[in-house]
């Protein structure tokens, strides 16, 4: 039986996003935040596809996506200490929002999906 390499030798659990010449490093979320992101993403996708979404999923979706304070709280939870770094660097809200959305997608759907969102630019811009 072959032995496994130590995961820390080849696995980077962070997300690195370049903004204005600086690279922000988003640490991996806690299990609680990771599972919340996955539930929110699945509920959102199901609602957009016209599928039934359970009551818990609808409540989380409504509270997080529709309420500004809940959206800010979610981004703070996902970004961890990077949230404070962005504020200290006076990054404008639309950029913080895009960073937060990208991190949410990274947690819920993986690096490739996050990369597609990152490159698409802010929602509403062509």
Give the residue numbers spanning the domain of 116. Answer: 15-48+55-120
Look at residue 6 and tell me if it is in a domain. Answer: no
Look at residue 42 and tell me if it is in a domain. Answer: yes
Look at residue 101 and tell me if it is in a domain. Answer: yes
As for how many domains the chain has, the answer is 1
Q: What pLDDT is recorded for position 23?
A: 98
Look at residue 83 and tell me if it is in a domain. Answer: yes
Q: d(Cα 86, Cα 99) in Å, to the nearest integer?
A: 10
Look at residue 35 and tell me if it is in a domain. Answer: yes
Q: Which of 1-5, 8-12, 14-18, 97-101 has the lowest mean pLDDT?
A: 1-5
Look at residue 116 and tell me if it is in a domain. Answer: yes
Q: What pLDDT is recorded for position 111?
A: 93
Look at residue 3 and tell me if it is in a domain. Answer: no
Look at residue 81 and tell me if it is in a domain. Answer: yes
């Amino acid at each position: 039986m072959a032995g496994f390499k130590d995961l820390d030798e080849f696995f980077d659990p962070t997300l690195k996003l370049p903004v204005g010449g600086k690279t922000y490093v988003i640490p991996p979320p806690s299990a609680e935040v990771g599972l919340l992101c996955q539930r929110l993403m699945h509920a959102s996708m199901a609602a957009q596809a016209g599928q039934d979404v359970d009551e818990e999923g609808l409540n989380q979706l409504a509270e997080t996506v529709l309420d500004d304070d809940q959206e800010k709280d979610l981004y703070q939870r996902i970004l961890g200490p990077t949230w404070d770094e962005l504020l200290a660097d006076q990054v404008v809200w639309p950029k913080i929002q895009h960073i937060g959305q990208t991190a949410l997608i990274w947690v819920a759907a993986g690096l490739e999906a996050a990369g597609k969102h990152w490159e698409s630019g802010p929602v509403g811009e062509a």
